[in-house]
Amino acid sequence: MLNLSVHPKIWSLLGDDPTMSDLIQFRVPRSVKNSLATSSPRMPADHNAVDSTLGYNFQTLWALVVLLQADDDESVTLELTDDVTLHHSPLDPEAPDQTRYQVAHSINPSLPELTLKSTKLWKTLRIWASEYDSKQLYFLITCAPVSTDFSCLVPDGDRSDLQKALEEEAEQVIEENEQEIHAHKERIAGCRAFFDLTPGGRSELLARMYLCAKSPNIKEINDILDGELRNIARPEKRRLMINRLREYWMNRACQSLTGEAPKYITKVEIQRYLEDLAITIAGSGLPDDYGMIQPPADEQVPDMMRRQIEIVNGGNSRINRAKIVRWKSRNQRQRWLADDVSIASRLDALDQQLIDAWNYRHGPMCDDTRTSSDKEKQQHGCKLLDWSHNDAPQQPVTIGREPVPAFVTQGTYQDLANECLVGWHPDFKAILSTKGDTDCDE
């Protein structure tokens, strides 16, 4: 029997010295009341779709919980070898190579009991039996209650009676399938995979298999994350940290699945993010929530911002660049305001600092190009436009003790240009006012 004491973190959500009752009734730090507002739907909900969506979200957040409890040199993956997989350090000879998690989620308060005949059990056994590796651990996480047949699936539990019961069930299913008494479409593959193992192989698989029942569901995940972050920040700060951590994690997981980022998400990566987040939440800076997010495909280009770029012959690439940073900046500023409305005055001060920095360049440019041709004025204006994107963020303004993200400087300049508070062409107000743009009247 594997000695799980070398990896106590596996049981950290279950409390100290897990007994059968600890394992079968999954512990959470404290109960969470359902505070979700209810309303009368206009049309019947597709409960299967809702359950599936919540299940995928919970599976992703479960990976976050696993990684937060992992050792410094460990990592997690999603949908690689299992729903969630914890990859252990290759330098620890006593550690398994992987701990694999099958996650069965539901918010239904009255779930049927998991028994020897349950489809989920045999679907899970189909995967694990066909891919069994003696250097892996296997966890089935379910929100459902379970039959006492599974009370042995704890550290040092005697699995012999369970193995016999599973063999008898699998034998009956296979026999009824072959005799065409019952197809058992949902269970037959799992039963055959289990029987394809030798009796010794079945014993070894069960010895490395653990069951966590009545586990938390997605409504309780914030409470679990709060427990993980308890020593990092005060309660009111933790709420902000949890919201941002969840947003970051869901986006990072998506990038992992699409191949836009490495599939293996390391503990060091999440530690680095939490370090930065703790600094900003503590008040010495502001969080970057939109730096890695792109605007929706149908995001429109504001008319005035576009014209400001066109009159310096900036081209479509600069227009698209401006659209992206403006979207990021506006959303980031709105997010900061949502967290702390008192920051409005600091954002106004930021705007004025940017206007001042622009004016120190635009004014001399106007003087230097007073007798220049329009083409020369366009060239100078395009250089000023590029300065707002490339050079201005290199001399960042600050809110608190930290500089704002570069995209906030870049995007705020585009927003100011859209309001005609700044411009790129030396004569932008005169040109745009003659075209009926009253916002740019001199």
> What does each of the 442 residues of the chain score in pLDDT, given as a tens digit?
333 433 444 444 444 333 333 333 333 332 222 332 333 344 445 557 888 899 999 999 999 999 999 999 999 999 999 999 999 988 878 788 999 999 999 999 899 999 999 999 999 999 999 999 999 999 999 999 999 999 999 999 999 999 999 999 999 999 999 999 999 999 999 999 999 999 999 999 999 999 999 999 999 999 999 999 988 888 888 888 999 899 999 999 999 999 999 999 999 999 999 988 887 776 656 788 899 899 999 999 999 999 999 999 999 999 999 999 999 999 999 998 988 777 888 899 999 999 999 999 999 999 999 999 999 999 999 999 999 999 999 987 887 667 899 999 999 999 999 999 999 999 999 999 876 655 676 5
For residues 146 and 227, the answer to whether their CB atoms sit within 8 Å is: no
What ranges in 131-282 are assigned the alpha helix state H? Answer: 160-178, 188-196, 199-207, 221-228, 235-258, 267-279
Euclidean distance between CA atoms 406 and 394, whole angstroms: 8
Tell me 113's DSSP state.
P
305 CB-near residues (< 8 Å, 6+ apart): 319, 322, 323, 326, 414, 415, 417, 418
Euclidean distance between CA atoms 361 and 382, whole angstroms: 13
- Looking at residue 48, what is its pLDDT? 72
Question: Which amino acid would we find at residue 440?
Answer: C
Max distance between CA atoms of the chain, in angstroms, equals: 97
Quickly count: other Cβ atoms within 10 Å of residue 45's Cβ.
8
97 CB-near residues (< 8 Å, 6+ apart): 87, 88, 90, 133, 135, 136
Question: Which amino acid would we find at residue 250?
Answer: M
Helices and strands per DSSP (H, E), number in the chain: 15, 8
How many angstroms separate the Cα of 301 from the Cα of each of 174, 416, 418? 63, 14, 10
The model scores a pTM over 0.85: no
265-266 and 398-399 as β-strands: parallel, antiparallel, unpaired? unpaired
Among residues 125, 158, 161, 152, the alpha carbon closest in space to that of 140 is found at: 125
How many angstroms separate the Cα of 204 from the Cα of each of 75, 201, 208, 342? 25, 5, 6, 61
Q: Is the dihedral of CA 258, 263, 267, 271 positive or negative?
A: negative
What own/partner pairs with CB < 8 Å and gap ≥ 24 does 276-282 have? 277/241, 277/244, 277/245, 277/248, 278/232, 278/233, 278/241, 279/402, 280/402, 281/233, 281/237, 281/240, 281/241, 281/244, 282/233, 282/237
How is the chain split into domains, by residue range? 4-30+46-229, 303-440
Coil, helix or strand for 146? strand
Coil, helix or strand for 102? strand
Euclidean distance between CA atoms 237 and 248, whole angstroms: 17
For residues 392 and 422, the answer to whether their CB atoms sit within 8 Å is: no
- Looking at residue 30, what is its pLDDT? 27
Query: In whole angstroms, what separates CA 128 from the centre of its chain?
Result: 27
Euclidean distance between CA atoms 432 and 415, whole angstroms: 16
